[in-house]
Structure 1
Amino acid sequence: MRAKFWLALGLAVAGQSAAAACGGADEICEIDTGGYFIELPEKENPPLVVFLHGYGGSGAGTMKNRGMVDPLLDRGYAVMAPDGAVRNGRKSWNFYPGWDGRDETAFLTEVVEDAADRFGVDSDRVVLGGFSAGGFMVNYLACDAPDTFSAYVPVSGGFWRPHPESCEGPVRLFHTHGWTDNVVPLEGRLLGGGRFHQGDIFAGLEIWREANECADTKPSGFSTTDQFMRRKWNRCADGSALEFALFPGGHTVPNGWADMMLDWYEGLPGG
C-alpha cells in the first residue's frame, strides 16, 4: 500500500511538472485553441500583462522585445504573449465584427485561465495590451466585453471604419500612438484596394468617452512623461478611466511605454 501511495504521488507531481514545463521566452504553452509564451517575475501570484503582436508577428517575437518585457518583469508582472491565428498566411487577430475565425475573447480568457492554473498568475489583475493589429483586437474586445480584463492598453491600433456605433462601458483604457505613424495613421488609411478603412483614433476616443459617460469632451488634465504628451478624462462614470498618450515617433512600441503604462494602471482603484 505504501509503495502504491508513493508511486501515485510521484505520478501526480510528474504530471504537474509536465503541465508547467512550458514557459520562458522560447517555450510555447499550448491549449486546444492556440498557444502562448510567458515569463514570470520572482514573486508569487503576480499580476499579468497580456500583449498581442501585430499582423504577421508572433508571440515569440513579442517576447524578444526586451525593452518592453524586462521593465514589466522588473515591476513584478508576469508577461504573456499569445500567438494569433493564421489569417491569409500570416498570424493575426480575428477582431473585426462579422469575420469568421477563432473566438478571440474566449481564447484569451482560456490562456489566462491556463496560466493561472500552471503558474499561479493572478487572473483578477490582468492588463490586455497589443500593438497594431493587436491594438485593434484590444479595442474591439474592450468594446464588446469590457469586464473580461482589468484594463486595456492598446498601442498603435484603434477601430476600423465604419466605427462602432457604441461600446459597452465603463472601461479602463490607456491608448498610446505615434505622431508620425504612417502604418496606422491617426486619421486612418485605406487598405486592400479600398476594401478596408482604418478608423480615426480621435473618433475612437469619442466612442470611449460616450461609453464612459464622460461629462465633457474636454480632457480633465494634461501632462507630459518624458517623450509622451498625455491627456485624460476624469469626469466620467465610476469604475472608468480613459487616457491618451502621443509620442513623436512612428509605428512602434515606444521606449518608456511599459513603466508609464504601469504607473497609470497602479494608480487606478484596485490596480
Structure 2
Amino acid sequence: MVALAAGIAACKGSTSGGDSLPSGNDVPEAGPSPSGPNEDDAGTGADTEVTPPVAKVTVTDETIVIDGVTREYVLATPADIDPTRKYPLVLVLHGDGGTAHTMRALHTVDDVSGSDAFVAYPSGIDMHWDRSLDVATNSDMHFMQSIVDTLNTKYRIDAARIFGVGYSAGGFMVNQIACRTGLLRAIASHAGGAPYIPGVDNGSPDCSTGNLVAAIVFHGVDDGHGYGVDVSSGVYDAQYWADRDGCATTTSATSPAPCQAYDRCPSDKPVELCIVPGLGHIPWKESVKTEWAFFTSLP
C-alpha cells in the first residue's frame, strides 16, 4: 500500500481493447473534508452569536442483510422531506481498500445534492467489490438493488433517476452495474474504466439488451504511475458508452474545462469525458458539482 496521509483506495483494472492496465496497489483513502465553518471565522467577542448552518441532510449508518450477510452503508437523507415528491437516489461506491465513510469523506455528493436527493454510500465486503458478471450470484449487485428497494418502502424514490458514482474499483463497478442490470439512469466514473470481465481479454463487452446509460467520465492525466489505472482506461470508458449510445466519435468542449461532450448523442443519453491535467489517482475537486449538474440536466 502506498502510504498517503489521508487514505485513498486504488484499484486494478482493464483498458480499451482488453489490454491489461498496470497492476494497482491500494492507496489510503483521503481524510475527511471540513464539515462546517472554520472555528476562526466564528468570532470570539462576548456579544457575537453564531447561527449554525441549517443541515440539509441527516446522515445515518444503515445495515441490511444480503444473501445471509449483514451489509453496511451510510445514508444521507434530505432533512425536510416532501411526501408528495419523488426523490433521486445516488449510489456512491468507494475504491479497493475504502469504506462507506472514507468515500463520503473523499467525495461528498450530498454536499452538492443537499435536500434534493437521497445519497447512499455502500461498503464492499472486505473493502472490495465483486465485479463478476453473473448477476444471479453477485451479492454486491443484489446489495445495490436492495438499497433501492428498502428506501422505496419508506420514501418515494424515483426509479427512473437512480444514479451511480464510483471511484477507482468503484468506478469499474458502477460500469458493471449499468451494463448488467437496468438499475441506473446514469453513471459518473472516476479513475475507473468500462465494464469488462476481470482478468479476461474480452475487448468490448456487450451489455444486457437495453442497459444503456448516460455517462460522465473523469480521469487524471497523471494517473497510472505505479498504483492507479492509466488515463487510457477513462478514455475508453467514455468511448465505450458513446459507441453504445449511438453518439458521434467527435467531441466538443463543454463546461467546465477541460471536459468534452460527445457530439450527436441521444438527448437522454449524453456522454462526457473530463481528462484533467496534473491529476493523479483521485477524484477531481470539481467533479462533485459537475456530475450532479450532469445528472440533474437529464430529461
Normalising by structure 2, what TM-score? 0.67
Q: Note if 1:185 corresponds to 2:230.
A: yes
| Corresponding letter in the other structure for 2:187 | Y
Superposition deviation, residue 115 in structure 1: 1.9
Q: CA deviation at 1:73?
A: 4.0
Q: Which residue of 2 aligns with 1:82?
A: 122
Deviations 1:137-176 (A, max 9, x none): 011222223x311211111100355333333553211111
Verify: 1:117 aligned to 2:147, yes or no: no
1:205 is the counterpart of 2:238: yes
1:66-215 pair list within 5 angstroms = 68-74=108-114, 76-86=116-126, 91-97=127-133, 102-145=138-181, 147-159=182-194, 161-168=201-208, 169-182=211-224, 183-187=228-232, 200-214=233-247
SS state at 2:274 partner = strand
SS of 1:85's equivalent? coil
> Which amino acid is 1:129 matched to?
V
> Alpha carbon RMSD of aligned pairs, Å?
2.7
User: How many pairs were matched up?
Assistant: 225
* 1:136 CA drift (Å): 0.4
How big is the shift at 1:80? 0.6
**1:156–1:184 Cα contact (<8 Å) kept:** yes
Alignment deviations for residues 221-263 of structure 1 (CA, whole Å, 9 cap, x no partner):
21241xx411112423463221111223111122121111111
CA distance in 2, matches of 1:245, 1:107: 29
CA contact (8 A) 1:173 1:243 kept: yes
Indicate conservation of the 8 Å contact 1:94/1:100, yes or no. no
Q: Normalising by structure 1, report the TM-score.
A: 0.73
Q: Distance in 2 between matches of 1:53 and 1:68?
A: 11
Per the TM alignment, residue 50 of structure 1 is displaced from its structure 2 partner at its CA by 0.9
Q: Is the 8 A contact 2:110 2:119 kept in 1?
A: no
Name the one with the larger strand percent: 1
CA distance in 2, matches of 1:143, 1:102: 14
Aligned mates of 2:115, 2:285 — CA distance in 1: 16
SS in structure 1 opposite 2:203? coil
Q: Following TM superposition, by how much is the alpha carbon of 1:125 offset from its aligned partner in structure 2, in angstroms? A: 1.9
- Name the structure 2 match of 1:58: 99
Q: Which residue type is aligned with residue 49 of structure 1?
A: V
Identity of aligned residues (%): 23
Matched-pair contact (CA < 8 Å) for 2:235–2:273:
no
> 1:25: how far off?
4.5
Whole-angstrom distance in 2 between the partners of 1:263 and 1:114: 26
Which runs of 5 or more residues in structure 2 are unaligned? 1-56
1:134 maps to a residue whose letter is G
Displacement after TM superposition at 1:124 (Å): 3.2
What is the letter of the counterpart of residue 212 of structure 1? D
Q: Does 1:27 align with 2:64?
A: no
Paired with 1:24 and 1:37, the residues of 2 have a C-alpha distance of 10
Are 2:265 and 1:236 equivalent residues in the alignment?
A: yes
SS in structure 1 at match of 2:116: coil
Q: Distance in 2 between matches of 1:242 and 1:256?
A: 17
Does the 8 A contact of 1:24 with 1:37 survive in 2? Answer: no
AA partner of residue 263 (structure 1): A
Look up the equivalent residue of 1:131 and give its one-letter code.
Answer: Y
Name the CA shift for 1:121/1:251 in 2 (closer, same or farther; >3 Å): same
Which residue pairs with 1:257 in the alignment?
287
**Structure with the higher helix share, 1 or 2:** 1
Q: For structure 1, which segment, 117-126 or 151-160, has the greater mean C-alpha deviation from structure 2 after superposition?
A: 117-126
